[in-house]
Amino acid sequence: MKKVWEESFKIASYHLDFQQELKPSVLQQYFQEAAGNHAESLGAGYDILMERELFWALSRIRVEIDRMPKWGETIRIETWPVGLERLFFRRDFRMYDEQDNEIVRGASGWLLVNAKTMRPQRLAALGVELPDNAGRFALEGTLPDRISLETPEPVFRKVIRYDEIDMNMHVNNTRYLDWVTDCFDREHYEQNALSAFSLEFLSEVRWGNEMEMQIDRNGTEAKVQAVETASAKALFKADVEWRKRD
């Protein structure tokens, strides 16, 4: 049993933004790929859980960024389960560059969900022993709190189409970061670099849903949410933080 999983990724051109830096959504894809591979090796991967009508659902995540890797770099991710926080299965990760400098770190909270009832399950339902990494945190403290917006303003609307639907027939949560980062213009990116983000996932987003992206700005921080236009229900929320570029 590997207590800590390591996996490397080479930054390809199609993973970059216009500044030749890794897109935040791809950063999250790397982390989830490594997390999924570790779960598979522990006997708690996608196929095994689906046979028992269970699946993992990411509920919230916090990521802090010293710098984004650039085109051609090879990065290494370490990820490990930490333990339980209420119903959340916590999993942390760190990202290193080729000189073994830590450049990104994060903490995530996952729910083990029954595929029929869609209700969260406790540890006993997993039926697998998880490695003991108690006290080994990439980020100190508990998982991020709920996110609230005070004076949200509309940015854009969109309807979910083919390109955003994954193999589970809903939108993969990594795509939410694309919509969050679409709320800022080119000038903003030329002047600022993303330093941290938190995401809170509230409801599935499916093919044909129409939603409105809304933003609440406060200096170097902004809070963003997606609201289903038909029901006015919040689908997910984000808290993004920026620092001035050199």
184-236 per-position pLDDT tens digit? 999 999 999 999 999 999 988 899 999 999 999 988 899 999 999 999 999 99
User: 228: Cβ–Cβ under 8 A, 6 or more apart, which residues?
Assistant: 203, 209, 210, 211, 235
What span, in angstroms and rounded, lies between the C-alpha atoms of 113 and 50? Answer: 10
Q: What is the pLDDT of residue 204?
A: 86
pTM over 0.75: yes
pLDDT at residue 40 is higher than 90: yes
pLDDT band at 58 (very low <50, low <70, confident <90, very high): very high
Range 68-85 average pLDDT: 96
What percent of the chain is helix, strand and coil (3-state, nearest 5)? 20, 45, 40
What span, in angstroms and rounded, lies between the C-alpha atoms of 130 and 177? Answer: 29
What span, in angstroms and rounded, lies between the C-alpha atoms of 223 and 221? Answer: 7
Q: What is the pLDDT of residue 63?
A: 97
What span, in angstroms and rounded, lies between the C-alpha atoms of 124 and 217? Answer: 42
What span, in angstroms and rounded, lies between the C-alpha atoms of 194 and 132? Answer: 32
pLDDT at residue 169 is higher than 90: no
**pLDDT tens, residue by residue, 80-110:** 999 999 889 999 999 999 999 999 999 999 9
- Which CATH topology does 5-126 take? Thiol Ester Dehydrase; Chain A (3.10.129)
pLDDT at residue 246 is higher than 90: no
Q: Could you tell me the residue ranges of all domains in the chain?
A: 5-126, 153-244
- Residue % of the chain over a pLDDT of 90: 82
CATH for 153-244 is: 3.10.129.10
Q: What is the pLDDT of residue 78?
A: 98
- Residue % of the chain over a pLDDT of 70: 100
Q: What is the pLDDT of residue 196?
A: 97
What span, in angstroms and rounded, lies between the C-alpha atoms of 14 and 22? Answer: 9
Segment 115-123 long-range contacts (CB within 8 Å, at least 24 positions apart)? 115/50, 115/53, 115/54, 115/55, 116/53, 120/87, 121/54, 122/87, 123/84, 123/89
pLDDT at residue 160 is higher than 90: yes
Residue 184 three-state SS? coil
Question: Are the C-beta atoms of 102 and 66 separated by less than 8 Å?
Answer: yes
Range 153-170 average pLDDT: 91
Q: What is the pLDDT of residue 168?
A: 78
Fold: same for 5-126 and 153-244: yes
CB neighbours of residue 146 within 10 Å: 8
Range 163-168 average pLDDT: 86
Average model confidence (pLDDT) across the chain: 94
